[in-house]
Amino acid sequence: MDFGWSQTQRQLFDDILRFARTNLNGDVVARDRNHEFGRKQWERCAEMGLLGLPLPKEFGGLELDHLSVALGLEALGQGCEDTGLVFSIASHLFAAAVPIWKHGSARIKSTILPRMSSGACIGANAVTEAGAGSDPSGMKCRAEKVAQGYVLNGEKSFVTNGPVAGAVVVFAMTNPAFGHLGMSAFVVEAGTKGLTIGSPFEKIGLRTSPTSSIYFEDCLVPEDHLLGEEGQGATILKESMFWERTCEFATWVGSMQRQLDRTVEYARTRKQGRKSIGTHQAVAHELVDMSIRLEAARLLLYRACWLLDQQQPAEKEVCMAKIAISEASIRSSLAAIQIHGANGVVTEYEMERFLRDAVPSTITSGTSEVQRNIISSYLGL
Ligand SMILES: Cc1cc2nc3c(=O)[nH]c(=O)nc-3n(C[C@H](O)[C@H](O)[C@H](O)COP(=O)(O)OP(=O)(O)OC[C@H]3O[C@@H](n4cnc5c(N)ncnc54)[C@H](O)[C@@H]3O)c2cc1C
């Protein structure tokens, strides 16, 4: 068993951490308050190569494997205080760029992917509908085959990056009678006639990551915008979920590290009477538990990524990593607030934002309950 990183991986982590601390943090409190997407910061991330981490070099990417992508995004999550921006980057990469790279036609790949890596085209993904979340096989969105391609009709909800997207990977039924086997995936480019974008939602957290509904009304997409083949939607979705549930959640591992570092520092320097609060066993033990939760989640993440890179079965481990990271993030955010006392609920201390940004993590990319259902099937239940 090898727990070491290569020199190249260490360099990647250090470079991204330094870049994020220096370039992305200016006015995060204000942007969070205003639900403002950091377009300037997005462009800086593109220049750093972050918007194409796993993509092949021919499309402007860095061609990294799961483990290295996770390490890079952990560094981004640790250094960047704008968790919404980091979440938008992860959605762009894993829910849009990866399925296009893996299943797009040669023309689509060569026209869209270089623009995604360069930041010019922001990716989004539309599976969820108002009436179909955890079980997408109940979706109503239809794609009908016509002579010139496919005509899409229906509505999608909770599309991360919807309001700023240049290309959306959309899942729709081509054959509803077949349930999830009748689902297909398409790339729909912004500006296509019949595609309308709704207003951004106001959310508890991840506020700088814009989310909206999108609507299709007789929206014609050319035949070569179909990803893979008709009926392959569920397989394409599952594959991109493996990337999302690991590498996207690496960003929360990074932000938990920053949270722990700041909370330890606070406990060492905050005094009540003559003693720093960290000398109280109750406070010290809470910090120890935060660090154990973080380390356990991190190891599950690395193991899941390693299995994916070895092309070994990894579904159970991927779900375990997703649960461990997201639930640790919420619990540790509550603990960090408690240790900060009243300062923990004040905006400028970042602790309240850690919690608000953690809450959606047990819902997005499949809820904790759905992950537990999948794991339970591996236990023979
Ligand atoms: C910040 C954020 C960003 C998102 N971005 C995107 C995006 O870019 N694209 C996209 O398509 N979607 C996106 N989503 C939507 C997300 O994928 C869904 O919210 C999620 O799949 C759950 O669906 P739902 O909200 O409809 O909840 P429901 O499916 O209605 O579930 C409600 C509750 O019932 C539980 N439940 C449901 N079914 C079961 C079951 N079989 N067993 C046990 N419990 C169950 C759930 O766990 C949950 O607690 C995003 C969500 C969030 C919060």
Pocket test for ligand 1, best of 127, 134, 161, 322 (most atoms within 8 A of CB): 134
Q: Is 190 in the pocket of ligand 1 (CB under 6 A)?
A: no
Q: Is residue 203 domain-resident? A: yes
Pocket test for ligand 1, best of 236, 252, 364, 365 (most atoms within 8 A of CB): 364
Mean pLDDT of the chain: 97
291 burial level (CB within 10 Å; 0-12, 13-18, 19+): middle
Tell me the pLDDT band of 1, cut-offs 50, 70 and 90.
Answer: confident
Identify whether residues 238 and 373 lie together within a single domain: yes
Distance 147 CA to ligand 1 centre (A): 35
User: What whole-number distance in Å separates Cα of residue 334 and Cα of residue 345?
Assistant: 10
* Closest atom of ligand 1 relative to the 360 alpha carbon: 53
Q: Is residue 25 domain-resident? A: yes
Q: Is residue 353 domain-resident? A: yes
Of 230, 251, 284, at which residue does a domain stop? 230
Q: Which helix (H) or strand (E) holds 125?
A: strand 123-126
Strands 211-222 and 226-227: unpaired
The string of pLDDT tens digits covering residues 90-113 is: 999 999 999 999 999 999 999 999
User: What whole-number distance in Å separates Cα of residue 169 and Cα of residue 238?
Assistant: 14
What is the full DSSP assignment across 64-105?
--HHHHHHHHHHHHHH-S-HHHHHHHHHIIIIIIHHHHHH--
Question: Taking Cα atoms as reference points, which of 82, 22, 67, 71 lies closest to residue 47?
Answer: 22
Q: Which domain holds residue 67?
A: 7-117
Q: Is 127 in the pocket of ligand 1 (CB under 6 A)?
A: yes
Strands 183-189 and 226-227: antiparallel
Domain tally for the chain? 3
What mean pLDDT comes out for the span 161-178? 97
User: What CATH number is associated with residue 89?
Assistant: 1.10.540.10
94 burial level (CB within 10 Å; 0-12, 13-18, 19+): buried
Residue from 81, 155, 244, 315 carrying the catalytic annotation: 244
Residue 48: predicted pLDDT: 98
Of 198, 230, 262, at which residue does a domain stop? 230
Question: Taking Cα atoms as reference points, which of 153, 172, 148 lies closest to residue 219?
Answer: 153
Q: Is residue 1 domain-resident? A: no
Identify residue 253 by its one-letter amino acid code. V
The string of pLDDT tens digits covering residues 243-259 is: 999 999 999 999 999 99
User: What whole-number distance in Å separates Cα of residue 208 and Cα of residue 80?
Assistant: 13
Tokens of 248: 């996207």
226 DSSP β-pair partners:
186
Place of tokens 């918007």: 51
Q: Is 363 in the pocket of ligand 1 (CB under 6 A)?
A: yes
Identify whether residues 238 and 225 lie together within a single domain: no
Tell me the pLDDT band of 125, cut-offs 50, 70 and 90.
Answer: very high
Q: Is 217 in the pocket of ligand 1 (CB under 6 A)?
A: no
Q: Is residue 95 domain-resident? A: yes
